[in-house]
Amino acid sequence: MVKDSVTVFMLPFSFDSEFFRYIQNNSIWELSDLRIDKEAFYPHIYSFLMDNVSERDANNCIVYSLRDNMENTPEECKCVAKLFGKIEFEINGSNKTDKEKLNFQLLNEKSKLLSPKLMLYPLASVGILMMSIELTGEKRTLNDLIALNYMLHKIDQPPAIQISLPENAHPKRIEEAEKIYRSLDGYNAKESRKTKKDTPLGWRLYNLFKFLLFNFEKNTYGIEPFNNTRFHLFTYFQIDSLEKFEDGKQTEKDALIRDFIRVARCQNKNYKVLADETEINGIYTQTFENIFIASCVEGACIMVESNESANQFIDNFIN
């Protein structure tokens, strides 16, 4: 079982001055009051991110959070904002190796970096939109996390991969969700699957990204993503202590490292991990005996080993 798992989906893009003016004057975004522990970053990176979170200075990164108050925004903005209200969503497995249905929720604690954030660097006209999701359910496994990331990391997801409310959700919530689906359906690149009543069956993660960036597909505000096919993913999760792997169970340790590599590379179980990638100081390293860090072209990952006697530092490592 995995715990404290979170996946950050990032979409880097370039923008023009018209988009920047829109964000400043008429937007669902507001300047963030984000505060990050100084020990979390090197001093020059901390200064770049944090020195001007409350000022519009083109020489530094400007960080925005979603507004709490959407009263003066269009009705569809109010609808879509409800997606971040601690709602559990469901997604169907894409093949026989994945669990049939997986559940997750969007994170939206404004004081944390894991909530929706729009980071703009006006001096270079580049930015990043980030959203984070958390795997939910009583029995969350590493296989579930691998499958969830794999299904959602592709921008051009197949029609079969739709996000929706669980079938047992309250009827009123389902009715309200249909309004949200209609709003997001307008941001589909291709015609979406519909029910007989012409109501979208669900939504896609990329639709939400496009919605938050004001329909850049139509180039209304001159936004251009750097990658049109994949999100960039950062994943964090904790696992049970490796002490349970006795000397005779090295194969289980090896399997865990292969899955760790799959998470970093946004791959599922169908991919065969190269032997040299499972060796330390290849694409992954260990900062301590119980902390594993991997970084590659597709994404990055931190895996933390914990046990019942883990200290507070490890328990709160995600923060």
Q: How far apart are CA 153 and CA 300, in angstroms?
A: 13
CA distance 159 to 40: 39
Exposure string of 146-159, with b = 16+ CB inside 10 Å and e = fewer, is bbbbbbbbbbebee
Over residues 184-200, mean pLDDT: 54
- The pLDDT assigned to 192 comes to 46
Averaged over 254-276, what is the pLDDT? 91
Are the C-beta atoms of 5 and 82 separated by less than 8 Å?
no
Q: Give, rounded to a whole angstrom, the gap between the first and last alpha carbons of the chain.
A: 20
CB within 8 A of 216, min separation 6: which ones?
13, 210, 222, 223, 224, 225
* Token pair in block for residue 226: 């750097």
DSSP secondary structure of 16-38: -HHHHHHHHHS-SEEE------G
From residue 261, how far is each of 139, 165, 258, 296, 302 by CA, in Å?
22, 30, 5, 9, 10
Tens digit of each residue's pLDDT (9 = 90 or more) over 84-105: 887 888 887 555 444 568 889 9
- Average of pLDDT values for 36-47? 77
Residue 288: phi and psi, rounded to 5, are: -145, 175
Average pLDDT over residues 56-64: 74
**Cβ(70)–Cβ(98) below 8 Å:** no
Q: What are the start-end ranges of the E strands in the chain?
A: 3-14, 29-31, 62-66, 89-92, 101-106, 117-121, 126-136, 163-164, 224-225, 232-240, 284-288, 291-295, 299-306
What is the Cα–Cα distance from 8 to 131, expressed in whole angstroms? 6
Q: Is the pLDDT of residue 199 over 70?
A: no
How far apart, in Å, are the Cα atoms of 41 and each of 38, 45, 197?
Answer: 6, 6, 51
More confident call, 135 vs 252: 135
